[in-house]
Structure 1
Amino acid sequence: MNYEAKMFAEDGQKALPGEEGRSSRRWWIIGGIVAVLALVAAVFLFSGGSDDGAAADKAAAQREGQIPTVTVAVPGRQAIQRVVSGTGSLAARREMPVGVVGEGGMVTRVLVEPGDWVRAGQVLARIDRSVQSQTVESLQAQVRVARADAEIAQSELDRAKQLVDRGFVSQADVERKTATRDSAVARVRVAEAQLAEARARNNRLDIRAPEAGLILTRNVEPGQVVSPGSGTLFRIAKGGQMELRAQLPEDDLQQLHAGVPAQVSPVGTDQVFEGEVWQVSPVIDPQTRQGIARISLSYDPALRPGGFASARIVAGSNEAPMLPQSAIQSDANGNYVYILNDQDEAVRRPIRAGEVSDEGVAIVDGLNGNERVVLSAGAFLNEGQKVKPELKTLR
């Protein structure tokens, strides 16, 4: 009976009164199950979507964390001095060797020492002149004799002129006495000239300073016999002026001219002396390809001729970007830096470096100064790599 009733209901025919209640409850159960499943699905979908968003946010954060932070700067342009450096020896700017001018003889006294200042004409050493003094006295006596003879000849001529009008003396006698007087006067002049010559020779016996300056060396002692072949007895720095003879490559010499300022630092001292180039060598050594720039210096005890010193010569100035050395990279293709484009991506830029100083490296070609240049970590970047810039101001 139940089987038939169920079949009858499934065929869409009218069910029996008892069967209708059970069918209604069954549909309610099915609807509840479907609603529960829909709710579970909605919760699952919602929770799954949240997890995907969180994962996406996490991945984005990870990607953000992988972008390196680099320090960049806009260098601009500034006045940069063109500096030429060189080394060389100190010397007197005008060194004057002093030797024997006269006959020479035995040195009796030396009146100066190295380091003394002398004036022009000052006696540096005295030579024995005992023999020469006797010669001068002899010549002085000859001068006196010649003057006496000239006075007698003049007196006789004057008396003859007074007597010629009375007829006691002929005109021929007057003329002879005139000639005698003229000869006596001439002998006086010869004797005086010989005396002056002897005195001049005696004055030249002493060794004298030709110009005012500083005594550098002394190569004579009392008791030494000197002559014109004895060589240099003293060396004098004219006016005490010194110079540095800096050895420079020929390309550096091309940048220099007389009058440019320079700083000189002698070895063994922290002192720096101001000077200027007063002469640039017109000749280049064909072996070393170097020339000499002569830098004039005022006297100072620390400037000793023969000493070694370094020079820093300001050859001029120009405007260029200045970067720290950490910003410059090098490889087989030359020097380069990394700059950032509008997307903060690293772009390689070839450069040509110029003057290197304590302030940094001058960039003479490759940058105009308006770029954002990576100051550090350039060795770890790649072309086109995204970075996070941190701007720094250069001094």
Structure 2
Amino acid sequence: MQWIWQMPSFKISCAALAAALALAAAGALLVTGASRAANESEAGPARPALTVTQAQPQRSTIALRLAANGDVAAWQEASIGAESHGLRLTEVLVNVGDRVQAGQVLARFATDTVQADVAQARASLLEAQAHAAEDQANADRARSLQATGALSVQQIAQLTTADKTAQARVQAAQAGLDAQLLRLRQTRVLAPDGGVISARTATVGAVVSAGTELFRMLRKGRLEWRAEVTAAELHRITPGTRVSVTTAGGAVLEGRVRMLAPTVDPHTRNALVYVDLPAHAQLRAGMFARGEFDLGSSAALTVPQQALVLRDGFSYVFVLGADQRVQQRKVQTGRRVADRVELLAGLDAQSWIAVQGAGFLNDGDLVRVVASQDSTQKTPVAQAKHAPSAIH
């Protein structure tokens, strides 16, 4: 077999066969490339991934508001206690929640002992007055006889002194009677002012000492909101500032700042702001409430809230380019009013951004913008439709 491989004619045939195979492979590659190019030309350019609406940032006026939390408390509280000592409580006329007027009788104590003391004091006064009348008559006679010499100077002085002493005893007896009459009046517990009874410890039959609290009252029925504000924000609030307060039940009340606390808590660095509140059925002392202080307004650059995309804790918008591709741009947000958000940095007023459908976009995506009648006026588009690819 070795001599067959060494024949010249056989070597030429093998070389021709190899060349033919190489030409066939090159032809196949050319045909494959031509067909791929033809397919790409028939498919056309890349198709948009999503249909979006567009809008430009708007210059608008936004109210400056300062949010705060706090408790509802009584404007002032009145403590109503017993003024007499050792008397038995016989009648309680009001209960918690009752609205009372100034001077109204709230409770009564037993008056038997006090009335006996009043009678005794009145009798002592009558006795003192009788002695005083006798001593005064004696002093008058002595003074009339002074010129005759019938009585010595010492005797006249003793009668005059007795007259003055008797008059002093009358005044002391009168004071004792007044004290007992005062005790008699104190057997009736009166409301010092109008308001609402907030607490009651009075119990019928109890014998209480002077100073024991029987009732607690919200004066005038007035309540206030005590908001906690940081020391850095305290200077922005002044007396008379309007405040919108929302109760735990959802009621919204309009109040006004009455005063600012003169001190700041050294532990929390917060100060109290006292806000007068109108009467409302849902208000209760001790309840929690939140509110906002109206600090005026200022101009701001705003975008629709739908245009913002939150990713990794940051806010982004997608800016539309001339080639209909979007560029993801990080922005800094501020206040929120209804469906619009203030932009503090990251976007200029001339940029067009994607609104509806922005949450499905990625940086560099090709989009199709929905034409609307508002787009020619450079105002945000109110409504738009997602493409089927975005829905699914």
Task: Verify same fold: TM over 0.5.
Answer: yes
Residue 338 of structure 2 aligns with which residue?
358
1:155 aligns with 2:148: no
Does 1:136 find its partner at 2:118? yes
Q: Does 1:393 align with 2:379?
A: yes
Q: Which amino acid aligns with 1:94?
A: Q
Specify the alignment match of 2:310 in structure 1: 330
User: Structure 1 stretch 191-200 or stretch 81-90: which is displaced more?
Assistant: 81-90
Please tell me whether Structure 1 or Structure 2 has the larger radius of gyration of its CA atoms: 1
**CA separation in 2, counterparts of 1:252 and 1:326?**
31
| Distance change (3 Å), C-alpha of 1:322 and 1:96 | farther
Q: CA RMSD in A?
A: 3.4
More off after superposition, 127-136 vs 300-309: 300-309
Query: Is the 8 Å Cα contact of residues 52 and 367 (structure 2) preserved in structure 1?
Result: no
**Partner residue of 2:264?**
283
Q: Residue 234 in 1 paired to residue 215 in 2?
A: yes
Cα distance change, pair 260–368 in 1 and its aligned pair in 2 (3 A): farther
1:201 aligns with 2:183: yes
TM-score by length of 1: 0.72
1:250/1:347 CA distance change after superposition, 3 Å: farther
Deviations 1:141-194 (A, max 9, x none): 111221222222222222222222233333333222211111111111111122
Cα deviation per residue 1:111-149 (whole Å; 9 max; x = unaligned)? 222232223343311111211221121111111221222
Separation in 2 of the partners of 1:123 and 1:134?
23
The answer to whether the Cα contact below 8 Å between 1:81 and 1:318 also exists between their aligned partners in 2 is yes
The percentage of aligned residue pairs carrying the same residue is 29
Partner of residue 160, structure 2 = 178
Verify: 1:317 aligned to 2:297, yes or no.
yes
Query: Is 1:377 the counterpart of 2:363 in the alignment?
Result: no
Between 1:148-157 and 1:67-76, the stretch displaced more is 67-76
For the pair 1:92 / 2:74, whether they are aligned, the reply is yes
Structure 2 CA distance for aligned equivalents of residues 150 and 322 of structure 1: 94
Letter in 1 for 2:282: A
1:352 aligned partner, one-letter code: Q
CA distance in 2, matches of 1:97, 1:371: 66
Contact 1:346 / 1:387 at 8 angstroms: preserved in 2? no
Q: How far apart, CA to CA, are the structure 2 residues paired with 1:131 and 1:103?
A: 11
Q: Deviations over 1:54-85 (max 9, x none)?
A: x99x88xx549649653222332222123344
- Superposition deviation, residue 333 in structure 1: 7.8
Unpaired segments ≥5 residues, structure 2: 1-39, 383-392
**252, 276, 298: which one aligns with 2:278:** 298
Alpha carbons 1:76, 1:370 under 8 Å: kept: no
The match for 1:43 is: none
CA distance in 2, matches of 1:254, 1:341: 45
Paired with 2:157 and 2:344, the residues of 1 have a C-alpha distance of 97
1:271-329 per-position Cα deviation (integer Å, ceiling 9, x unaligned): 3222233355543473x776654432122232122334343433443221232221112
Match of 2:30 in 1: none
Matches within 5 A, 1:2-17: none
Is the 1:321–1:367 contact (alpha carbons within 8 Å) kept by the matching residues of 2? Answer: no
Aligned partner of 1:264 among 245, 256, 277: 245
1:78 to 2:66 alignment: no
Give the 3-state SS of the residue equivalent to 2:145 in structure 1. helix
Contact 1:78 1:320 in 2 (8 A): yes
Worse overlay, 342-351 or 200-209:
342-351
CA deviation vs aligned residue, 1:39-65 (integer Å, no higher than 9, x gap): xxxxxxxxxxxxxxxx99x88xx5496
Q: 1:371 to 1:253 in 2, by over 3 A?
A: farther
**1:102 aligned partner:** 84
SS at match of 1:134: helix
- The equivalent residue for 1:41 is none
Amino acid at match of 1:314: D
TM-score in terms of structure 2 length = 0.72
**Which residue in the other structure is 2:107 paired with?**
125
Q: Which moved more, 1:77-86 or 1:152-161?
A: 77-86
Structure 1 unmatched runs, 5+: 1-54
Does the 8 A contact of 2:139 with 2:156 survive in 1?
Answer: yes
1:222 alignment counterpart? 204
> Helix, strand or coil for the counterpart of 1:309?
strand
